[in-house]
Every structure is written in C-alpha cells, then in structure tokens.
Amino acid sequence: MQTGENLKLDQIAGEELKVLAAPLGNLMKDFRTEQSLDKENTIAEEYLKKYGWIKGEKFVCLNVRDSAFFNESKEVHNHNAFRNSDIDDYEAAVNYLLNMGYWVVRMGRKVERPFKIKHSRLIDYGVDPNSSDLLDIWLSKNCYFFISTGTGIDSVALMFKKQTLIVNVLPIIYIISWVNGITLPKRLFWNSGKELSLIEHLNNSYGNTHQYIEKGIKVVDLSPGEIRFAVKEMVDEFNQNDYAPTLMHNEALEFIERNKKDPFFLYYASPLPHLPLQAPEYWVKHYHKKFGDEDPYTGSSYYPNRTPRATYAAMISYLDEQVGELIEKLKEINQYENTLIIFTSDNGPSWVDHVDYKFFNSTGKFVNSRRTMKGSVSEGGIRVPMIASWPNKIKAGSKSNHISAFYDFFETACDVAGIDNEIQTDGVSFYPEMIGGVQAKHDYLYWEYPASGGLQAIRMGKWKGVKNNLFKNPSKLKLFDLSYDEKELNDVSSKNPEIVKELEQKLKEAHSTPYLKEFIIPSLEQ
C-alpha cells in the first residue's frame, strides 16, 4: 500500500513525465496525420531550396557539440566537457566536402558561434531560427552521411542506417556501437607526453573530465588534418574508383588470353545490371540526355542515385559493351568460330525500388507488376532469354521454342564436351536442339520457392499449375493454359479436374526435402 507521501511523489513524477513527453507527442501526432510524409518532405525540401539546393543533390550533416551546449565555454571541469569540440577544427573537412561538390548542413540547436566559412553550399542550420524538430529528423534521415561529435541527433541518423562518423568523442564508454557508426575518440596523453596504450585507454573510461585531469591525463582533440582525413575516407567509401564489373571483366579477358592455346570453360556471372545503381559516367550521361531529368533515388535500400533510370540503362549498355569485348577477344585469338557462347539470366526482372519497371516495361508481354517478376513463379519471374552462339555448330538466326531449365545446363555442358555424366540430375541436355538434332523433352518442369509466402509451380506441356501461401494457408492449385494465357490471368482449374489431379500428383513426386533447413516449407513435408 502506498503512503500519502509516496502517492504525492508519484503524482509529481507523472506530471513531469507528461511535460517531458508533450513535445514528442505533438511531433508524433504530426507524423500520424494523413499525407504527413509528403508534408514533411515538402517542408524540408522547400527549406533547402531557399539556399539554392536542387532536389537530388547530396548533402552531408555536420553536428559539432561545442561548449555552448552548457553555456560553459571555458569550464574544463564540466562533467560533459570531454564531448565538446571546436567548430574551427572542422573547417578543413568542410572545405574538402564543398570542393567535392557536396552540400554541408551544420546541425545543432545550441552553437557557440557561426561557421567562419562562407560558401553557397554551406547551410549554417545551427544558427537558423527556423530550425525545428521536423527538419532535424528529415535532414538526419536524408543526408548522404552524418558527421558528429557523439550527441543527440546523430542517433536519428544511425537509426535510419545512415553511415555516421563520430569524431572527438570521450570517454570510451561513449563510443558508438552501431553497425553504421565509425568512432574516432580524442587522444589521451600522460603528463609525461607519452600517449596512453590501448589497455590504458580502456582502463581510464572516466565519465568526468576532471577525473582525467586528476589522474594526470591530458585530453587532446583530433587535429583538423586528422578530421579531414577521416572525412575523406568516408567519402572514398562511397566513391570508390574500382568498379567490380570492370575488374571481373578484365579478369575474364586475361583468363581467355592465358588459355588461348587450350580448351577452356569460363563461367562469367556478371553483377550487371544488379544493385547498387552504379555505371560508367559516359553511359549515364548518354541516357540522362536521352531520358531527360528524373526524380532521384534517395537510397532507401541501397546507395542513393541522382539519375536511376539513366544509370540502370547505362548498366545494361555497359554489359552489352563487355560482351562485345569478349567476342572481339575470341576473334583476336582465332577461337571465336570454335567457341560456344551462352548468354542468359538467373531470374526475371527486378521490382526493387530503384528500378522503374513501368518505365522500362520490364516484363514485356507478361503482366508488368511486382507479383510477376523476380521472386515469383509466374512466367515473368522464371522465363529468361537465352542466346547461344557457335558459328561452327549453330545456324545463324535460328530460333527454338524448346522449354528447359537451368538444371539442364550441366547435362548440356557434358554433352558438348563429350563427357559421360555419372551424376544423376533432373537435367536434359539441350545440345541437340542447338545444332538441329533430335531433342528429348521433359515430362514436366518443377519449381518451389521458400520466399514470398512459399510458392510451388509445375509446367507440363501447355499446362501451368501454381500454388501459393504454402507457409500459412496453402492455396488450391491454380491452373493456366499457356497456349493462350501466358499472362496467367484465367484460372481454368474448375474446368480441368483431371489435369489438376495429375499435376497435384506430380508435385508430390517432384518435391524432395531440401538440405538447407531455411529452404524447407513445412506444408510440403506432410
């Protein structure tokens, strides 16, 4: 039972909590209103545009906690003074960012003085009376990356998975442990001038500045040069000069050169046009001019990109360019006529938010929607192009409607090489089809997919059977006649019960328990 005194204290505490929570509650109320995100974006973008910022241009947030935070600029015994830092020490880093073409937004509600640097792309938001909680959050969420001295708003940036550089923080207990955070603490020296070792550093994680002083430890801020170097490293992390598709391509060309006198097999799994959106500048400029200006991709799941359509198209053209170089290399070593080249893909087009699949009409003749693309068993998700070239064997311009699957390739490769395959697979060699021979066919093709709720599909002649929601509420088999319904719009299962029965039986026959437990769909194991 509570005493009268305890009850009174609880009431007081409750009222204090209400007062403290009120601003946050009001803010969250704003976020919950209809179209609040659009309103938030509009307000924030209009604020930046007043300074000349153009939507899509990259900006970096800088939040330096100076001593004005406590109104104790010269009080070294302040228990939080170790977190303070001199804004002037960041000039070199800011100048570097500005010279690289970035915008810099200086954050902070309490600042000692304005930034000395005057530049058209520097926004001294910290001294702007129009700053607000909403703008604080929006800037932290949408910046390219965040630089901070380990205080307050940088936690918002980290929460939104923004790369964050924490500099001049002390003590060790304040070092940021977020996966997106990189921490550079202040330097510690004994009065003798010797820098503390790592063990000594860890053993002196005091919470108050005066504790360091009493132990004879001098606290030294990072130099302007050290801060600039750290920021440059951060920029380089986002703007690396090495491009993986180019490195892989060059290695492929070298491989062909090394083996030009011997038979070889080259599996070339290009990452193009996979994420992230990156491509040679000359191709991006080509398509930017062709497509015109476009809304930027802000980087909700991958790196941001100013021209996502142009860059995606550029990646495809660059892949085409690389294929051409491979062919030219084969001609150079006089092996083009004697080389089988197969070009194909492992899945249908992507629906991920960086790809404007509607603009590109990515699924072609199939339904152009997320449900029929990569990660589905719809024809738009599993049908892929395949081009084969072998001047000495394959008739130029010939086409085939033969239906196959990737597990056919191993059998085909063995057939081409004249090797007897002793490993049992579900594959059927399609080599005879390529050279105009008599081609064996599958009785049926089978797929299952432990994502998107659990999917299962079977193809037998013109018939396609599909089951979904296998993890929670398995659907009945849907039946499609692909001879006239390649878009899979008309379920004809009710009109063809015998076909449904036959496909259901084949689904059971085709399934086997996956080796990896992550691939197991419980309803298929019953």
Q: What is the CATH number of the domain that holds 45?
A: 3.40.50.2000
- Which pLDDT does position 6 carry in this prediction? 40
Both 108 and 150 in one domain: the answer is yes
**Section 266-289 average pLDDT:** 91
Percent of the chain with pLDDT strictly greater than 70: 86
**Is 72 within a domain?**
yes
Residues 210 and 90 grouped into a single domain: no
Number of domains in the chain: 3
- What are the pLDDT digits (tens) for 127-152? 888 888 888 899 999 999 899 887 77
pLDDT score for 35: 54
Taking 80 as the threshold, does the pLDDT of residue 421 lie above it? yes
At 489 the pLDDT is 96
Q: For residue 213, tell me if it sits in a domain.
A: yes
Top-confidence residue, 442 or 526: 442
Residues 69, 156 within the same domain = yes
| Beta partners for residue 146, in sequence order | 61, 164
User: At which residue do the structure tokens 């910290």 appear?
Assistant: 126
Determine what percent of the chain falls in helix, strand and coil, rounding each to the nearest 5.
40, 10, 50
Nearest to 387 by CA among 285, 303, 448, 319: 319
Question: Model confidence over 374-390: pLDDT tens digits?
Answer: 989 999 999 998 999 99
Q: How far apart are CA 465 and CA 96, in angstroms?
A: 59
Residue 373 inside a domain? The answer is no
Same-domain check for residues 182 and 194: no
Confidence of residue 329 (pLDDT cuts 50, 70, 90): very high
Q: Which of 4-8, 375-379, 390-394, 456-460 has the lowest mean pLDDT?
A: 4-8
Spatial contact of 342 and 388, defined as CB atoms under 8 Å apart: yes
Report residue 185's pLDDT band, with 50, 70 and 90 as the boundaries: confident
Domain limits at 206?
188-218
Per-residue pLDDT band at 14 (split at 50, 70, 90): very low
* Residue 9 belongs to some domain of the structure: no
Half-sphere exposure of 88 (CA within 13 A, CB side): 3
The CATH number of the domain holding residue 518 is 3.30.1120.10
Nearest alpha-carbon partner for 59 in 12, 23, 102, 107: 102
Residue 466 lies in a domain: yes
Note the pLDDT of residue 176: 60
211 and 82 part of one domain: no
Neighbours of 279 (CB within 10 A): 24
**Could you tell me if residue 42 is inside a domain?**
yes
d(CA 186, CA 164): 17
pLDDT of residue 382: 92
369 confidence band (pLDDT: 50, 70, 90): confident
Both 95 and 209 in one domain: the answer is no
Is 80 exceeded by the pLDDT of residue 179?
Answer: no
**Domain match, 110 and 34 both:** yes
Specify which residues 464 forms β-bridges with: 459, 480
In which region does residue 356 sit, left (phi positive, over 0), alpha (psi from -120 to 50) or beta (all else)? beta
Q: Give me the DSSP letters along 414-447.
A: HHHHT----S--S----HHHHTT-PPP--S-EEE
User: pLDDT per residue over 51-64, tens digit each?
Assistant: 988 888 889 999 88
Of 373 and 240, the structure prediction assigns the larger pLDDT to 373
Q: Which of 19-28, 110-119, 466-475 has the lowest mean pLDDT?
A: 19-28
**What pLDDT score was predicted for residue 81?**
66
Check pLDDT > 60 for residue 299.
Answer: yes
Token representation of residue 360 = 């590109």
Domain check: are 120 and 200 in the same one?
A: no
pLDDT of residue 418: 92
The token duo for 462 is 């013109």
User: Which distant-in-sequence residues (6+ apart) come within 8 Å of 210 by Cβ?
Assistant: 76, 77, 79
Residue type, 265: F
User: Mapping DSSP to helix (H, G, I), strand (E, B) and coil, where does residue 451 land?
Assistant: coil
177 lies in the same domain as 102: yes
Q: Is 163 inside any structural domain?
A: yes
**What is the pLDDT at residue 385?**
87
Q: What is the structure's pLDDT at 300?
A: 64
Instruction: Please give the Cα distance from 270 to 325 (Å, whole number).
Output: 14
pLDDT band at 171, cuts 50/70/90?
A: low
Residue 82 is given by DSSP the state G
Residue 227 scores a pLDDT above 80: yes
pLDDT of residue 330: 96
| Structure-token pair, residue 472 | 């929670």
Average pLDDT of the chain, as a whole number: 84
- Closest to 301 (Cα-Cα) out of 237, 350, 348: 350
pLDDT score of 172: 64
193 with 169, same domain?
A: no
* 162 vs 32, higher pLDDT: 162
Beta bridge partners of 107: none
> Distance between CA 132 and CA 128 in Å, rounded?
10
Question: What average pLDDT does range 212-226 have in this prediction?
Answer: 85
Are residues 502 and 473 located together in one domain of the fold?
Answer: yes
- Residue 64: the pLDDT is 86
The verdict on 31 and 84 lying in the same domain is yes
Asked whether residue 81 is assigned to any structural domain, the reply reads yes
Looking at residue 78, what is its pLDDT? 52
The domain boundary residue, chosen from 238, 271, 300:
238
Split at pLDDT 50, 70, 90, the class of 32 is very low
pLDDT digits (tens, 9 = 90+) for 64-98: 877 655 554 444 445 456 777 888 889 989 988 88
Strand partners, 456: 448, 467
Say what percent of the chain tops pLDDT 90.
Answer: 46
